Chains A and B, each alone.
Chain A
Amino acid sequence: MSATMATAKPLNRAAMAARAAQDLREGWYVNLGIGIPTLVADHIPSGREVIFHSENGILGMGPAPSPDQVDPWLINASSQYVSLQPGACFLHHADSFGLVRGGHLDLCVLGAYQVAENGDLANWAMTENDPAPQIGGAMDLAVGTKEVWVLMEHTTKDGRARVVHQCTYPLTGRGVVTRVYTNLAVLDVTGRGFVVIDIIPGLTIEALQARTEAKLHLP
């Protein structure tokens, strides 16, 4: 790889979440997956009303409470203590996933192992016969939500691409991802493949392409 990142500083997790949070719109109903996506809630521009869903049965989930405000009966899908937005309500599991599968959420933001240029998502297992599968609610969110954004590191720790021509890991959903936010760039999934709509300062398209298996396109 000749491309370097000498002057470019990859986003840290908080900055990745903040970048995605910028693009959430007023009035959207949003589910945030486990991991980095959870951080998106902390970066919504003030005054912008966004309603968060947690698939274990909250519509109108608020931020982590202060320690003296913890309700042990109120957790999110990552089993962390949360609070409620005014206007929140509770749902049982069939209603909560009916809401997901029925196409009512505007957006979910998920982590991923791989995203392919056709929108395929792989985020639940790294081998074909994972003995401990962790599907959870991801397959329902992937097929049911109007927009599916992925928030992930652009490459694995050992430098392999996650933004790929074709997923090699077991799929969560086919053709479902609409946008990818990484620590290096923002990519839209389009009919012609990945289109770069944002890139961190100091990084060239060539350097980004060198870290990406799929072919990148310009807008």
Chain B
Amino acid sequence: MNFDFTETQTMVRDTLQRFLADRYDFESRQKISRSDAGWSQDIWKAFAEELGILGASFSEELGGLGGGQIENMIVMEEVGRSLVVEPYLSTVVIGGGFAREYGKADLIEEIIGGETRIAFAWAEPQGRFDLNYLETSAREKDGGFVLSGHKAVVRDAPSATHLVVTARTSGDVADEDGVSLFLLPKDTKGVSTRDYPLVDGGVASEVYFENAEVPASALLGEAGKAAGAVRKVVDEAVVGLCAEAVGCMEQMNKLTQDYTKERKQFGVPISKFQVLQHRMVDMFMEAEQARSMTYMAVNRLPDSASAAQAKVKIGKGLTYVGQNAVQLHGGIGITDEYAVGHYFKRATMIEGQFGTTDHYLRRYERLALED
């Protein structure tokens, strides 16, 4: 048992940290997030070409650095620390995850190169967090498939070139059987999107499929049998979110500690008030435990109960750290101008992404306590 990072892993983290410190400070991030596109082609290109981090989690044969989920964790932590809005989770962790799962070497190559970006269209207006809840249908036609349906709040769809879509080829609306997975270019005929910004600075779309025809090659794996792969990749994404949360929490703690050391009330720095000290200690302990849980979960992948556990602990931590970081900043904590509020907003959204704390507690209970 060891907690050490390899040299390559350390290098990935260090170069990424340096790059973000240089080119992605809070002001730059805000400018990117508030641009019309809501993300930066330049940054993405730099991820691919200057840093090569888009390949960190892929095997060397496919042009990657030979890593895996630990590399994704390392990158996602920095994504969280700097509030990066570019689609690493959607494209590399999720899109790359499906590519790995289904042996799509060409897709991985395009991801690493930065030219293909993916959005994962899974959620539906009535489905809440159930991955198998699919009103979106795919019916066979002329050797291909025809997709119809509405996908809700598809993160990173505006910046994506391709979509990975879950659709039902058979079975009832929430059945595990009948879940199929398709990879298609976003500009496929019959696919339309409505793009919008998100409260956390990201972007998303409503995606509508109106008899969108795709060839048989768009189907990933076997028809109706994708539920397992979807669950597996979503668990990888959940662990990625946990890592993002670690970076986000640690940065909120740093901002709060720095601020309270500087800010004076009644003539003393407010960091000297015992109540605030203990609050910051509790915030620190949440972040430490979040890090521990992320290490645990990444090492136990593909164990789904472990990912659920991590999401639960981290979801609670995000709420506690986020709310108190704002509270301890006082008035400026809730202004748009200061960074801490934006971390809080992202923290709030991570808590609900792919399912709330309550959702993952129930999932954990079912997997671990109801045998």
**Chains A and B form a bound pair:** no
Residues of chain A at the chain B interface (Cβ within 8 Å): none
